[in-house]
Amino acid sequence: MAGIYLHIPFCKQACHYCNFHFSTSLKQKDALIDALIEELRLQRDYLSGEQLSSIYLGGGTPSLLTTDELMRLFEVIYQLHAVSDQAEITLEANPDDLNKEALKALRRTPINRLSIGIQSFSGEDLQFMNRAHNAQEAEDCIDLALEQGFSALSVDLIYGTPNMSDRQWEANMHKVFTKAVPHLSCYCLTVEPQTALDHFVKQGKVLPVDEEQAARQFEMLIQGAKGAGYDHYEISNFAKPGHYAQHNSNYWLGQSYLGIGPSAHSFNGQSRQWNIANNAKYIKALRQGELAFEKEELSPDQRYNEYVMTGLRTIWGCDLKKIHQFAPTYRAHFLAQAQIFLEDGSLIRQNETFTLSEAGRLLADRIAMELFV
């Protein structure tokens, strides 16, 4: 089954590390929602009538939308698409938006899963990242969400920040583990070009990411999550059994998805397309009944490389039968290139399936690149 992603490109303030497309001005919010609805209508046939197993509102900060605005979007989606009764419907949210009243209102929408961008429970870390919430809000929002019935809950954390000690990282993980949060996404701090963080590092105001510290905290995460009963089902994602993210799993497993909104990507198995990353130009195009995107037809080499990159990141790994479908020659290439990683224990083979070992997960990108054609 397929999925729909809606990009809501608004934030209260800019996090220092973020390179996603967003605006801190809400002046165009009404016009943007109208444009999202028009794009949904124009792209109604993109998924060829496939039933939706997931709807994901990301950003930006989708929790800035009112429930009325959210319902406008959902009404159009349900009019245009067949949505599974068991569909996972996720809203990305910031802690400062999730008070008791807001959560009660969200319960009256189709949303059945929250992905909360906590990043850290330390005030010092949050200030370093320029997050809009404080440490108390970070902790309170989880309790409130669970109280209001959002049992399908995911939390984002960041590790590897220059001022984050191993002790603080352990404390961040412990908070999540003890609050019965069923899903956890953890990302190493990355200095992306043209972000405020990149500027600070170049000026010498902030230390660059310490690779040894990042690797050590990633290993702490792997062991800590394992001990708390989480499956490490994708490099950055951990879940209690039965709580894997449906939407993101579809990405990694190569399912079709439609991306709606400025900068959103779509994929149908044969091609990939991405919308213009400019709110004003996006709105103008949709007002004229036009779609503003670029498109790339994927070659067999590209489709193989993407499968290797995404497959190796997951517990499902790469399957030789699937590799053979891209082109018969890829099987021999994969086996030849994989041999050195099988010998050093980075890769594990079970019949026709290859997965990364715990040691291999530290080198996932490098291993995948060696397997590319």
pLDDT tens string 112-169: 999 999 999 999 999 999 999 999 999 999 999 999 999 999 999 999 999 899 999 9
For the chain, residues classed under CATH 3.80.30.20 are 2-252
* Average pLDDT rounded to a whole number, residues 306-330: 95
Residues 332-353: what's their mean pLDDT? 97
Judged against a pLDDT cut of 90, whether residue 180 lies above it is answered with no
Fold of 300-371: Arc Repressor Mutant, subunit A (1.10.10)
Q: What are phi and psi of 314, to 5 degrees?
A: -115, 170
The structure tokens listed for 68 are 């009325």
- Give span(s): CATH 1.10.10.920, the chain: 300-371
The SS3 call for residue 115 is strand
Tell the burial category of 373 from Cβ atoms under 10 Å away from its Cβ (0-12, 13-18, 19+): middle
- Please state, in angstroms and rounded to a whole number, the distance separating the CA atoms of residues 281 and 278: 6
**Cis-peptide, bond into residue 254, ω within 30° of zero:** no
C-alpha angle 305-306-311 in degrees, rounded to nearest 5: 105
Rounded Cα gap, residues 172 and 118, in angstroms: 10
CB 193 within 8 A of CB 19: yes
Query: Cβ atoms within 10 A of the Cβ of 166, count?
Result: 12
Sheet architecture: strand order including 183-188? 231-234, 237-239, 183-188, 153-159, 113-119, 83-93, 52-59, 2-8, 257-260, 265-267, 271-275, 293-297
CB proximity list for 311: less than 8 A, separation 6 or greater: 252, 317, 318, 319, 322
pLDDT tens, residue by residue, 71-126:
999 999 999 999 999 999 999 999 999 999 999 999 999 999 999 999 999 999 99
Taking phi over 0 as left and psi of -120 to 50 as alpha, with beta for the rest, 297 belongs to beta
Token look-up 């082109």 returns 327
Mean pLDDT of the chain: 96
Return d(Cα 306, Cα 271) in angstroms, integer. 12
**CA-based R_g, the chain, Å:** 21
Does residue 238 surpass a pLDDT of 90?
Answer: yes
Tens digits of residue pLDDT in 6-61: 999 999 999 999 999 999 999 999 999 999 999 999 999 999 999 999 999 999 99
In the CATH hierarchy, which fold is given to the domain comprising 2-252?
pyruvate-formate lyase- activating enzyme (3.80.30)
Report the distance separating Cα 371 and Cα 373, nearest Å: 7
Tokens for 249, please give them: 């799993």
Give the position of tokens 């444009």.
35
Choose among 156, 5, 33: nearest CA to 89: 5
Query: In this structure, are strands 113-119 and 271-275 parallel, antiparallel, or unpaired?
Result: unpaired
Residues β-bridged to residue 69: none
Q: Report which DSSP code applies to 163.
A: T
Selection from 99, 165, 169 nearest residue 136 by Cα: 99
Match 């509102």 to its residue by tokens: 57
